[in-house]
Amino acid sequence: MSRKPISLRTELPLLIWLVIVWGALWRDFSPGNLLFGALIALVVARIFYLPPVELSGRFNVLRAVPFALVFLAKVVAASFQVIFLAVVKGPKVVNAVVEVPLRSHSDLMVTATGHVLSLIPGSLVVEVDRSTSTLYIHGLDIRDEADAAGLRKEVQDTEAGLIRIMGTKAELAALEAETAPPRAATKGETP
Amino acid sequence: MTPDAGGVDAVIDALTAVFLVLGALMSLTATIGLLRFPDLMSRMHAATKPQVLGLFLLLVAIGLQMRQWWVWPVLVVAWIFQLLTVPVSAHMVGRAGYRTKHLHPELLSVDELEAVVRRSANDPGEPGSAVELDNVLGLGETGDGALRGTAGQNLDDRGDGRGDQGESKG
């Protein structure tokens, strides 16, 4: 199996993550321990190679923080929605399986979108068609076509948010072109 | 100890108590959802969402009580791994449940996956295969080996890679 070589720079965020996990597990963030952790991270990443995670090379912190806060709020809302539905509707709840095509074809983006969707209110990924980058979402309490349209919009908004945070430049440009109103192009992204 | 510090202690204790009770309530909710919801996939909603929040609240309570800075990275890592693994397990169970038809079609207002599965099941074989017979007779529960087999091949290409990743992560 041949593997496209990845530069250390694109791999760096993942290696740093491994070192943080190492430090957290040892509860020791002293330089010596971190250095040893970095060594192990490098060896692990070189020897046990999985299909490479292709990071896009950009990460917008200004957009990531509000996204994370909204996400946390949605996790809370999801729990209370489940409480409400479980108590009030229970066995009579009506659901739907909805097909939503995504914009991005990157594995990482599809996975991230699927993860976020599974944790926010009312959606769960049932099936992924990787070739067309289509998610099949199981929506809780989707009674009619209007609700289903809302769910589709929610999915695509979630993906748009993630693209703005860490999509590739090409994906971002496509998104801007799609969402920009007919007037002049919107202001440039903060990198 | 100054009275001021005592006040802070009381506040932290109170917060911890609130978080612990709320976290436990979330787990209770998950159980209620499992009992009340009609089919597997809506139960997966109940099994994932409140429990993630419940664990978050319990971890915060632990962090507040331990009062050691080094405990926070462990707690954060624990919660992040929860965020990463819970959707995967819910997806795997939901996906298997859909394929083995552990669902109530009459409770689905829209089902856009069914047509896809049927099309991919019918494509390779001749029309009028076991699949259509199943649909006509409503024998979804039995004899759907053909459906699962072909649909699986078609939609499953990426299943292996992701499955491997999931395993090695866990």
8 Å CB contact of A79 and B46: no
Q: Is any Cβ of chain B less than 8 angstroms from the Cβ of A29?
A: yes
Does the interface predicted TM-score (ipTM) exceed 0.85?
A: no
The phi and psi torsions of A110 (rounded to 5 degrees) equal -65, -40
Alpha carbon A123 to chain centroid, angstroms: 14
Measured between alpha carbons, how far apart are the two ends of chain A, in Å? 35
Cross-chain CB nearest to A91 (options B38, B95, B116): B38
pLDDT top residue among B44 and B160: B44
- Find tokens 């739907």 and name the residue: A96
Distance of CA B158 to CAs A44, A105, A107, Å? Answer: 24, 13, 10
Q: Measured between CB atoms, which of A82, A94, A98 is closest to B29?
A: A82
Q: Work out the average pLDDT over B38-61.
A: 88
**pLDDT tens readout for residues B86-145:** 989 888 988 888 888 777 777 787 787 777 777 777 665 434 334 443 444 444 444 344
Q: Which tokens sit at A29?
A: 């963030």
Q: Do the Cβ atoms of A75 and B52 come within 8 Å?
A: yes
Strand ordering across the sheet containing B108-111: A123-129, A134-139, A95-101, B108-111
Angle at B108 between CA B107 and CA B112, to 5 degrees: 165
Q: Which of residues 8-37 of B touch A (CB under 8 A)?
A: 26, 29-30, 32-33, 36-37
- Domain edges within chain A: 8-47, 61-179
Strands of chain A, DSSP E:
95-101, 123-129, 134-139
Contact B86, B48 (CB under 8 A): yes
Could you tell me which of B112, B99, B135 has the C-alpha nearest to residue B127?
B135
* B47 touches A: beta carbon within 8 Å: no
Tally DSSP H helices, then E strands, for chain A.
Answer: 6, 3
Assign 3-state DSSP to chain B and report helix, strand, coil percentages, each to 5. 80, 0, 20
pLDDT single digits (tens) B138-166: 444 443 444 444 444 444 444 444 433 33
The pLDDT tens digits for B56-90 are 999 999 999 988 888 889 999 999 999 999 989 88
Q: Please indicate whether, in this complex, the C-beta atoms of B162 and A111 are within 8 angstroms of each other.
A: yes
Answer yes or no: is pLDDT of B21 > 90.
yes
Q: Do the Cβ atoms of A42 and A15 come closer than 8 Å?
A: yes
Domain extents in chain B: 1-86, 110-170
